[in-house]
Amino acid sequence: MPPLRPWKKSASGHSAASRTGWPPERAGGRSRAQRAGTDGGGCCVGPRAGACWPGVPPVRPLRSSHHKDTAQAGASGQCQASHGDPDMTSLSKILVVDDDELTREMLQMALSGSYDMSTACNGREALDMLEAGTPCDLVLLDVDMPGLNGYETCAALRGSSVHAELPVIFLSGRVTIEERARGYSVGADDYVTKPFEVVELKAKIALAISRKEKAQALSGQLDEIMGTVLTTADMMGEVGVVLDFQRRMGHCHTLEEVSKAFFESMDRYGLDGCLRLKSRLGILSCSASAPCSALEESILDHLERQDGPTIQSLGSNLSFNFGSVVGLVRNLMALPAANEADLHEKIGRIRDNVALLGEGAVSRLKALDAEAEANDGPKRLVALTQEALIEVNALQHANRLRVAAIFKALCEEVESSFIHLGLTSYQEEMLSETIRKHMEAATQVFGQTTQIESHLDAMIHKLQNRSPAKV
């Protein structure tokens, strides 16, 4: 503890002790040492030099038997910590760290009605208590203590991965600007000098705890926003797989090529399964790398007999029947996800994307059937091909509108978050950069899609203008 300031009367006739909020019996009359019959070696809690409470002869700080015993006990780690009422679970919890027993007791008396109090004799004991799991919402920390002083204790807290955000208020008799600056430099939230107003101390404690709670709430909201951004990024990647599949469909001329494109798209989702394609070119039943097994054939037979088009869950699997395209996607529950809710959301998106892949394959098979019917008559070929190309074009256009809607919703949500959460410039830049990156990726895909649409429009125009004799 620093030297103690002499007790004196204020202009109003009240003692300085009353200004710190201590009880009258502690501030005047006989001291505890006198009432106990001792030589008056007790020490007051004022922050300055060498005085004591009224009626107690002046002594030099930390030289009395009480302070000597306290300092020795604190240095040897034998000081027994005092803990608040275990039933006061609704109150914020404060850890008082001071080597002076009287100071600890008086702070407990002043604050125990508003907070659940625990005490420690020195910095090392405080760190051990926190490491052992003592609940704490704020630390009131003295500077001058044996062993670890207050500055070293605060620095240790700020270097901890668990307690780095724990509010710390210095309560010290060191009053120079250099000492205050040192307190803030080691990470303290506030610095209160002795003597102090109890009302002011309570206000500072309440403010520090409120700031901590608000910071925790904002951190949780920021995590939620980042989760939304990452989820949207995943969605954009999944939509990109569908768009790439639609692009490849235009270059598939056999059932084997269509099935290969389908399974490669499923592999990008981390999934596999089996597939059956039916057209005028024949019937193909296969998995990603081999023909279907007898069990897979029986499953596909069962799915084909169901009325379509359908897509439904079969345990952890997903089945679909679009008439000419029938298949089974295996083990959706094995998809990587942060939690169960995220997994179900991801499965829902996969279900939609598998439906788009199946519909795209159906459109391509219709086109292949149209080509196979070329020998049956040029007009029929033109009509069927035109219908298939229009369906593909419409599907690609629908995908572009869906992605545009996703971007619009994302931008609105992020802009709303900027307004209400008060993010830092760095956090706003980070979110904006993430959005820009994925917008650029989607734009590149749309650039390819635009070329495909132009090509398809040109093909339709050529087919419309060709006479039957020239086909």
Please indicate whether residue 48 or residue 466 has the higher confidence score (pLDDT): 466
Residue range 207-243, pLDDT digits in tens: 999 988 888 787 767 666 655 555 555 555 677 888 8
Structure tokens at 459: 């093909």
- What was the pLDDT predicted at 14? 39
| Phi, psi angles (nearest 5°) of residue 63 | -105, -10
Is the previous residue joined to 195 through a cis bond, with omega within 30 degrees of 0?
Answer: yes
CB contact at 8 A, 414 and 423: no
* Local confidence band at 168 (pLDDT 50, 70, 90 cut-offs): very high
Is the previous residue joined to 309 through a cis bond, with omega within 30 degrees of 0?
Answer: yes
- What was the pLDDT predicted at 24? 39
Instruction: Say whether pLDDT at 286 is over 90.
Output: yes
Instruction: Say whether pLDDT at 43 is over 50.
Output: no
The domain covering 80-217 belongs, at the CATH homologous superfamily level, to Response regulator (3.40.50.2300)
| Phi, psi angles (nearest 5°) of residue 22 | -75, 155
- What was the pLDDT predicted at 10? 38
Q: Following CA atoms 435, 437, 443, 447 in sequence, which dihedral angle do they give, to the nearest 10 degrees?
A: -170
pTM (predicted TM-score): 0.38
Quote the radius of gyration of the chain (alpha carbons, Å).
38
Instruction: Say whether pLDDT at 414 is over 80.
Output: no
Q: How many CB atoms lie within 10 A of CB 41?
A: 17
CA 333, chain centre distance (Å): 24
According to the per-residue pLDDT averaged within each range, which of 193-202, 305-314, 383-392 is highest?
193-202
Beta 325-329 vs 317-321: how paired, if at all?
Answer: antiparallel
According to the per-residue pLDDT averaged within each range, which of 97-101, 346-350, 405-409 is highest?
97-101
Arithmetic mean of pLDDT over the chain: 74
Please indicate whether residue 309 or residue 353 has the higher confidence score (pLDDT): 353
Three state DSSP letters for 142-189: CCCCCCCCHHHHHHHHHCCCCCCCCCEEEEECCCCHHHHHHHHHCCCC
Give 139's strand partners. Answer: 95, 168
How far is Cα 35 from Cα 195, in angstroms, rounded to an integer? 24
- What was the pLDDT predicted at 257? 92
